[in-house]
Amino acid sequence: MTPTPRALRVLEIVSLLLLAAAIWMVFFYAPLEAVMGAVQKVFYFHVANAWVGMLGFIAAGVAGIVYLRTHDLKWDIVEVAAVEISLVFFLITIVTGSIWAYPVWNTWWTWDPRLTTAAILELIYVAYLLLRQGIEDPERRARFGAVYTLIGALSVPLTFMSIRLFRTIHPVVIGAANPGAQGSFDMTPKMLQTMLFAIAVFSIIFITLFWHRIRFGRLQQTVEQLKLKLSQ
């Protein structure tokens, strides 16, 4: 495997410093919410993880489209990298949402439209990884993955818009609040600044991990091609 590029090493350091800054802003810069108190601090990490998770799923769908047009396996590597990393971020989204929900909704989980669509979205991409394991031929596997992620990406806007399309108790972060939302609050300027900064920071962390995973994927592809040559 080639040495880690200097730019990636710099990006790693920048990501860590920005993450430390985001944590400081969440706990010391953003004011304490009057009703929910300290548990509202989870909101910043929850939204940031949701943003990069959904962004990654869409990126995987775009990579799938490019693969279907070019049949270049490098786009399959990009697609898998986006899905794997987004799955982790989106799982953190669901976990942090449950941590926030328990003191606010008095339950860890409820089959609210937003929560239900989020759980389905996570399971769609878990199934994607499992199904890929059953296909040995690299080109067939890449073709399957490209079509799957393209269709799977359609569930992303549904998950995002669910709080606007259906009656839900999940608060709307940006825009008019739902009449039946439980736990909604008005963001002060410092809260908004902290949320936007956290989104930017987690986007940079996503890019860093994405770059690492693509490099690892190339190594995996090389090893797989060598195994196929030896088996012939």
Asked whether residue 117 is domain-assigned, the answer is yes
Q: Structural domain tally of the chain?
A: 1
Asked whether residue 25 is domain-assigned, the answer is no
Asked whether residue 196 is domain-assigned, the answer is yes
Asked whether residue 21 is domain-assigned, the answer is no
Prediction pTM value: 0.89
Closest CA to 43 of 24, 59, 61, 30: 30
Stretch (H or E) spanning 177: none
pLDDT at position 3: 82
Asked whether residue 22 is domain-assigned, the answer is no
Q: Residue 65: how many CB atoms within 10 A of its CB? A: 16
Asked whether residue 70 is domain-assigned, the answer is yes
Please state, in angstroms and rounded to a whole number, the distance separating the CA atoms of residues 43 and 105: 14
Structure token pair of residue 178: 């739902």
Domain that holds residue 134: 42-169+188-231
Asked whether residue 118 is domain-assigned, the answer is yes
Residue 156 φ then ψ, to 5°? -65, -55
Interval 116-175: pLDDT, tens: 888 999 999 999 999 998 898 889 999 999 999 999 888 888 887 777 766 676 776 665
Asked whether residue 178 is domain-assigned, the answer is no
